[in-house]
C-alpha cells in the first residue's frame, strides 16, 4: 500500500503530501476570497442532504451539481437557488471547472471508486460516500490515486465523530473492560414482504441509464436497478452488509484500532423477502482478529431484537454503543462457584468456596444517545464529517475518516460478502492485503470495469 500518509499513532492525524500541496500553497489555490468551491455528483437521498448541509457552511460556494437524472439536476438547481451554481449531466465536464476544489460523491456504490480516482487526477479533494467500494482492490486504487495526486479524501462513515464513540474508544484504550475478546453487533428491521418486483422497461425520461450503469455490467433497466433500490443488487452494492455494516464496522475498527481480520466467514441468503432484490435478508458474519472475534447479524424481516448497536464483551465489563455508550460491570467471583450445584458434588469433585461476587469495575456512560441504526439522533455527525473534510482541505491534514480507513472497512464488508457467495471461509493477510490460498476468492477482489471506464481507470492508476 502507498505510504505517503504520515500517521501519528497517538492522534491518528497526519500531514498529507507535504511535498506537493502545503496548507500555504493551498490557500493560494483558493484565491483571495478564501472560499472553497464544491461540486456534487449525485443528488439523491443523501446527495440532497449533503447539499443542504454545505449550504450552511459560510466558507463554501456550491459551484456545481451533477446527476445523470435530469429532473434531479433541475430540482437541485432550484433547491440551491444560486445563479452561480452550474448543473451538469456529465461529471467529466464538472471536473474541468476551475471554480471547484472539492467533489462530493453521493452516487450508487459502484461509481464511488472511479469518481474518486478521476477527481483526484483532476486535482480535486474528495468526500466519498460509504461504502467506499464494491470490491477489495478498488480501495487500493483509490489510495493510490489520493497519494499520487496529494488529495484529501474523506469517507462518509461519519459516526466516528460522535462524542459517545470517541469516549467509548477511550474506555477501551484504558483497559477498564479487561480483555475484550468479542464484539457483537446487529442490524434488525422488518420490511417483509419487501419492495415488490419491477418489470423490464424503458428508463424514465431524463435518466441516462448507460451513464448510471457506468463501470457496472450492461443490464436491461428495471426501476429497482436505479434510484435508491440499487443497494439490493450485487452489481451496484453489497446489501445491508455494506450499507449499514460499513457504519458499524467502521466504529469497531476505530475503537479496537485494527487493520483487518485474518479469517472471515459468512452465511445467509434471501429467504423471506418476496421482491426482486438479490442481496441477503438474513446474514451472519464473523471476522477473526488476533485477540478477538467480531460478529454481525443482519435481519431484514424480523425486528424483534431491535438494533442493539455494538457490544464489546470484556473479562471485567461490557460496553454497548448506540450513539452514546454504556459500561456494565462483570462480577468477580470464584470460578469454582460457577459450576452447577444440583445435589452437590460427589466426593472428589470440585469444592465450592461460596465466595460473594463483587463488581470488577464501576458502571459508566457518556456521549449523546442516538438512533443506533441511522446514527442521526442526538448529534449531526454528518455535518461534523463534512466540516472536518473542509478544514483538512485547508490544513492538508488527515481527516478523521480517511480513504485508508474506508478501504479497510469496505474490505471487511466485501470479504464477508465474498465468503457468503462462495459458501466458504476466507483467510486474509491484513498486512499484505491478500487472500491466502484461495484463487477463486482472490479473483473476486477485482471486478472488471465496462468500457470505456476500464481505460479511464487505467489512465490514472496501476491496476
Which residues contribute to the site for ligand NAD (CB under 6 A)?
41-47, 66-69, 72, 91, 106-109, 111, 129-130, 156, 158, 211-212, 214, 227-228, 243
Under 8 Å CB-to-CB from 106, ≥6 apart: which residues?
40, 41, 42, 43, 44, 46, 47, 50, 129, 156
Cell numbers given for 381: 455527525
Closest CB 47 distance from ligand NAD, rounded Å: 5
Closest CB 52 distance from ligand NAD, rounded Å: 13
Q: State the residue number with the nearest CB to ligand NAD.
A: 44
Q: Count how many Cα atoms sit within 13 Å of the Cα of residue 428 in the half-sphere of its side chain.
A: 29
Spell out a b/e string for 347-375, using b for 16 or more CB atoms within 10 Å of the CB, else e: eeeeeeeeeeeeebbeeeeebeebebbeb
Q: Which is nearer to ligand NAD, 48 or 396 (CB)?
A: 48
**Cα separation, 101 vs 95, whole angstroms:** 9
Q: Which is nearer to ligand NAD, 72 or 270 (CB)?
A: 72
Q: Which is nearer to ligand NAD, 215 or 260 (CB)?
A: 215
Q: How big is the chain, counted in residues?
A: 463
Q: Which is nearer to ligand NAD, 47 or 268 (CB)?
A: 47
Helix axes 403-422, 136-148, angle to 10 degrees: 160
With 0-12 CB in 10 A as exposed, 13-18 as middle and 19+ as buried, what is 121?
A: middle
Q: Which is nearer to ligand NAD, 53 or 109 (CB)?
A: 109
Closest CB 5 distance from ligand NAD, rounded Å: 22
Q: Which residue has the cell 480535486?
A: 124
Closest CB 112 distance from ligand NAD, rounded Å: 6
> Nearest-5° angle of CA 449, CA 445, CA 309?
110
Cα 126 to chain center, whole Å? 15
What are the DSSP E strand ranges found in 195-343?
A: 263-269, 282-288, 293-299, 310-314, 317-322, 324-329, 331-332
Contact between residue 66 and residue 73 where contact means Cβ atoms under 8 Å apart: yes
Closest CB 458 distance from ligand NAD, rounded Å: 18
Q: Which is nearer to ligand NAD, 111 or 449 (CB)?
A: 111
Closest CB 293 distance from ligand NAD, rounded Å: 26
Q: Which is nearer to ligand NAD, 136 or 216 (CB)?
A: 216
Cell numbers given for 236: 451496484
Closest CB 383 distance from ligand NAD, rounded Å: 12
Closest CB 382 distance from ligand NAD, rounded Å: 6
Closest CA to 331 of 310, 361, 301: 361
Closest CB 68 distance from ligand NAD, rounded Å: 4
Interstrand relation of 125-128 and 153-155 (parallel, antiparallel or unpaired): parallel
Q: Which is nearer to ligand NAD, 93 or 259 (CB)?
A: 93
Q: Which is nearer to ligand NAD, 147 or 447 (CB)?
A: 447
Amino acid at each position: 500500500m502507498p505510504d505517503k500518509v504520515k500517521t501519528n499513532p497517538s492522534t491518528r492525524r497526519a500531514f498529507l503530501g507535504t511535498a506537493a500541496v502545503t496548507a500555504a500553497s493551498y490557500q493560494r489555490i483558493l484565491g483571495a476570497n478564501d472560499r472553497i468551491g464544491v461540486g456534487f455528483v449525485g443528488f439523491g437521498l443523501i446527495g440532497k442532504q449533503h447539499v443542504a448541509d454545505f449550504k450552511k457552511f459560510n466558507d463554501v460556494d456550491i459551484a456545481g451539481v451533477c446527476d445523470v437524472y435530469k429532473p434531479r439536476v433541475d430540482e437541485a438547481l432550484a433547491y440551491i437557488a444560486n445563479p452561480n451554481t452550474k448543473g451538469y449531466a456529465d461529471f467529466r465536464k464538472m471536473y474541468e471547472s476551475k471554480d471547484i476544489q472539492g467533489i462530493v460523491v453521493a452516487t450508487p456504490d459502484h461509481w464511488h471508486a472511479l469518481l474518486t480516482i478521476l477527481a483526484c487526477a483532476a486535482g480535486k479533494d474528495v468526500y466519498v460516500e460509504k461504502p467506499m467500494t464494491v470490491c477489495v482492490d478498488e480501495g487500493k486504487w483509490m489510495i493510490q490515486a489520493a497519494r499520487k495526486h496529494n488529495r484529501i479524501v474523506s469517507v462518509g462513515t461519519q459516526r466516528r465523530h460522535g462524542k459517545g464513540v470517541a469516549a467509548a474508544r477511550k474506555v477501551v484504550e484504558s483497559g477498564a473492560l479487561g480483555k475484550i475478546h468479542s464484539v457483537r453487533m446487529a442490524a434488525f428491521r422488518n420490511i417483509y414482504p419487501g419492495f415488490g418486483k419491477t418489470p423490464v422497461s424503458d428508463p424514465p425520461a431524463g435518466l441516462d441509464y448507460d451513464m448510471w450503469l457506468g463501470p457496472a455490467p450492461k443490464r436491461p433497466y428495471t426501476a429497482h436497478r436505479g434510484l435508491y433500490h440499487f443497494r439490493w443488487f450485487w452489481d451496484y452494492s453489497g446489501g445491508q452488509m455494506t450499507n449499514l455494516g460499513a457504519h458499524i464496522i467502521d466504529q469497531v475498527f476505530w475503537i479496537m484500532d485494527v487493520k483487518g481480520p485474518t479469517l472471515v466467514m459468512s452465511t445467509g441468503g434471501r429467504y423471506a423477502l418476496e421482491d426482486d432484490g438479490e442481496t441477503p435478508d438474513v446474514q451472519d458474519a464473523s471476522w477473526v482478529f488476533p485477540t478477538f472475534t467480531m460478529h454481525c447479524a443482519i435481519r431484514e424481516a424480523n425486528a424483534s431484537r431491535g438494533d442493539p448497536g455494538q457490544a464489546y464483551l470484556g473479562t471485567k465489563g461490557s460496553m454497548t454503543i448506540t450513539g452514546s455508550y454504556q459500561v456494565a460491570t462483570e462480577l468477580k467471583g470464584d470460578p469454582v462457584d460457577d459450576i452447577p450445584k444440583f445435589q452437590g458434588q460427589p466426593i472428589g469433585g470440585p469444592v465450592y468456596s461460596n465466595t460473594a461476587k463483587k463488581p470488577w469495575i464501576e458502571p459508566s456512560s457518556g456521549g449523546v444517545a442516538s438512533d443506533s441504526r441511522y446514527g442521526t439522533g442526538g448529534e449531526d455527525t454528518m455535518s461534523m464529517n463534512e466540516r472536518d473534510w473542509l478544514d483538512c482541505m485547508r490544513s492538508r491534514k488527515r481527516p478523521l475518516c480517511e480513504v485508508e480507513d474506508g478501504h479497510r472497512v469496505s474490505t471487511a464488508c466485501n470479504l464477508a460478502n465474498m465468503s457468503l457467495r462462495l459458501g466458504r471461509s476466507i483467510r486474509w493477510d491484513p498486512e499484505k492485503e491478500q487472500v491466502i490460498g484461495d484463487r477463486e476468492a482472490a479473483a473476486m477482489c477485482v471486478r472488471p470495469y465496462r468500457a470505456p471506464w476500464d481505460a479511464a481507470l487505467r489512465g490514472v492508476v496501476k491496476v
